[in-house]
Structure 1
Amino acid sequence: MAQPASTNYEIAQVCLLAGKIMLENGGETYRVEDTMSRVAEAFGIPESHSFVTPTGIIFSLDGPEQTTKLIRISSRSTDLRKVTVVNAISRRISQGELTPSEALQLLEQIQADKRRYPTWFQTLVAAIASGCFLIMFQGKWSDFIPAFLAGGAGTISLTYFHRLVPIKFFAEFLASLIIGFMAYLTVKIGLGHNLDTIIIGSVMPLVPGLLITNAVRDLMAGHFVSGVSKGAEAFLTAFAIGAGIAFVLTFYRGGGSLAWK
């Protein structure tokens, strides 16, 4: 039985909000489209169409009163907890436990949830991860502290510069610049020994691993627009990191007594 127009509108709102939350927090394009289709089907509308890109979602419900809506995605980050919660809500919808209004209310609560790990905790974790990456790349334990310091400085710099200048490329470039400078400084004063492994371990928290993974998965799933655009974004991030490190190495190559090996 066809849904009333008002219900169609509410269902479209639920589907779009679920897709928006997932896309803004690291969800893959094909997973977003699949979740939206399953939610619409669970609410009694088997025919729905969606077109998802990293910057927007177009969603349409078929029926006597066709509903089509567009939503803009202006910012993207990584919060897989929200993706998991939205998936849990979609399962409850599929099992018939939630009405459209109840689901919409839950999704609005998730969207309004601004809880984040504090900056000091993110910095500490990134610093520890930098040291662990150094060991993984066959670095020496004597370089753990320099990688710890450089990785922590890079992470807190990224957070600060991104708030100061809301252009991700420049924030990543400046953060990698500080990482390179910190790594060189620790080697210069004798605290560190192998500059290469210190830099490699320190920049790893900045590497867009999730973005690269999602780009490949979207390409494999046939979402070429999203896959290529995410791949381009990952390339720009990698370029910003490489450019910052290259600038430091070029600037200090002829000025110090460091042996580049």
Structure 2
Amino acid sequence: KIKDALKEEKRKIADEGKYIAQRKLEGLGAAFHQHNIDELVTYYKVPSQLDLFYEIAIKRIDLKELKEFHVLGDKLEAPKVIKTEAKTELTEYTPKPSAKDSELIIFGESSDKIMYNLAKCCNPIPGDDVFGFVTTGKGLTIHRTSCPNAAQMMANYGHRVVKTKWAKNKEISFLTGLKIVGLDDVGVINKITNIISGDMKINISALSIESTEGLFEGNIRVFVHDKEELEELVVRLKQLNGIQKVERYDTEKT
């Protein structure tokens, strides 16, 4: 399950924070036991001790307020008034999802809703066969199974790979690219753009054309909703007279 993989990665990071917290407490003469951990959880207003250690590890909590705690025997006693500076840090604890993340959801085997990023190396779009890769500090990154980095990730970091599939959503567009090769006839570019923008109502982000010895090669970046729409566009373009090849390319390569 995706959530299990993310939790396991979070636990590994939290172990580093646990070690830091233990050193800080012992440096104050306080014991590293449950009472003192609970005091810190309450003071920093985090949901659990796992979240406390995780936030310490990634430096969202740096424990500098510990100097204001009282140590009674081996126990910590939090100051009665929390500094404004500490509150400012705490407002950063739960990042707000972007519009894209909140509207388009990736589902795992158990249909869990998960925050994710799209890999820049292969630019997946809905409908592509994809997998999730758990990345330290970034959560889940979505790659195409045909990604040039896929084989290496699966071979060397199989424990970080999780099954994913797309949810249905027609409101979000994704940038992808098409390479078109054909005969350099008069009006051919106009016919191509008419199909894309006119017939299929697809937005064009960029278009470049080069002509050599009677042939043209065009690179077009378009915003599509999913792989199905992209494939329909490819079929429509291939039906034009003089078009020899239409294929998808990864937009980052150009």
Same fold (TM over 0.5): no
More strand by share: 2
Q: Which entry has the higher C-alpha Rg, 1 or 2?
A: 2
Of Structure 1 and Structure 2, the greater helix share is in 1
Scaled by the length of structure 2, the TM-score of the pair is: 0.28
Structure-1-length-normalised TM-score = 0.28
